[in-house]
Structure 1
Amino acid sequence: MSRVPGSGPRASAGLPCHADPDRWFNRDDRSVALRGCLACPVRGWCAREALRTKASWGMWAGIWLDGEDRVAIDYLTSVATAPPPPVALHQQVGTLNCPAPQQPYAPAAPSALIRARASGHCEIMLDGCCYTGDVLLSRTTGDPDPDPSTAAHGFLACTPCRSRLDQPARIATLELGYRVHSPADMYSTPFYWRQTRWAILDPGGQLQTAPHAARQARAS
């Protein structure tokens, strides 16, 4: 969490950490803060601010900091250096006086893009989720432990969510887009991301809004 440059009532509108900032520094409210961060349009900028200011406490860009935690810093670095978001999101960032990064990014491995997209947290979030990104899973049926060829081919999950996904009778993995039969379907199959929205996972590690028709077909 950080103050947006040039922030005021208009600039702060829509940022969950500005609506109730105390929660972003309360260890007991980390799950609430996490959900707000994961939906924030300026998460990459926030991660860069945390690194620049050497933040050591609170929820920043979806990463909980509690002193000098090397793993947390590594996750912040992944979020801060992730590829820039789509143009529509750049425009939203501009309204908050947070210009989109202009520097080109070096190519990143698909697994790194997935972890950056997830901020190191579970991308499933079923009941009982512990929020942690414990394991990288494949979306291809029968291939649970991937070396993904693109960021659309895998996702991050916590141990409890993985356990439920591995028991098809308990969760409709195909209907929710967590598994597909063919790698060719990765780029068109909607994924019910964190139980909040239907999204297409693109090869570059970004979430694209799923077409309405595809969402309706999955929900029916």
Structure 2
Amino acid sequence: YYGGLRITDEDNLPAVLSAVGSLRVRIEALLSMGLANSPMHGARLRVASGNFVTARPLGVRDGVDFAHTGEVRRVDAEGIRQRLDDGNIVLLSCLGYSPTGEVFNLSAEDVATAAAVALKADKLISLVEGPGLVDGQQQLIEQLTPTAAETVLSSRRALPDDVRRQLIAAVHACRNGIGRAHLLSRHVDGALLQELFTRDGVGTMITSDRF
């Protein structure tokens, strides 16, 4: 790792490809569940994935060669919208592809934020280990503005690595047209549904609007 990013060289790229492929299959299997007498019975969800993300190499920074670690260059928003309009769930991985056919390992936050901005999404939702962003007394901060979030990031306050990364992504999303960004605990069963379908939601919301 360097600067919070994994360095993916030629030797460990196959392991990344294997892990991404295995995880995609597991997610597709879970989305294919349709047991009788369950809420998903007869749903028949369709999952689409593909080369929707064009990437470029990070190259050499501060004397460090990032090799096959890259960043998002472009998201094929039109292609994704076509799949969504056809009733598919679009599954994006942390892999991106260059015009020369190279594969790059990207940060999940980079992919999610770039996709949300390209699609002009209503909100960006991220899952973290904790309940969201907490204050010095470990109390949940339910809402803050992008400016307030930037103040937290620039302070000397220690933040969990995943919260810091997701908070940076949330600020970037809000600064680029996304109305709201949310940090939810991945350990709370139904957290996503609570956020989407209850008045108060859960976790931390970053927004310029008042609610």
How high is the TM-score relative to the length of structure 2?
Answer: 0.28
How high is the TM-score relative to the length of structure 1?
Answer: 0.27
Give the structure with the higher percent strand. Answer: 2
Higher relative contact order by CA 8 Å / sep ≥ 6: 1 or 2? 2
Give the structure with the higher percent helix. Answer: 1
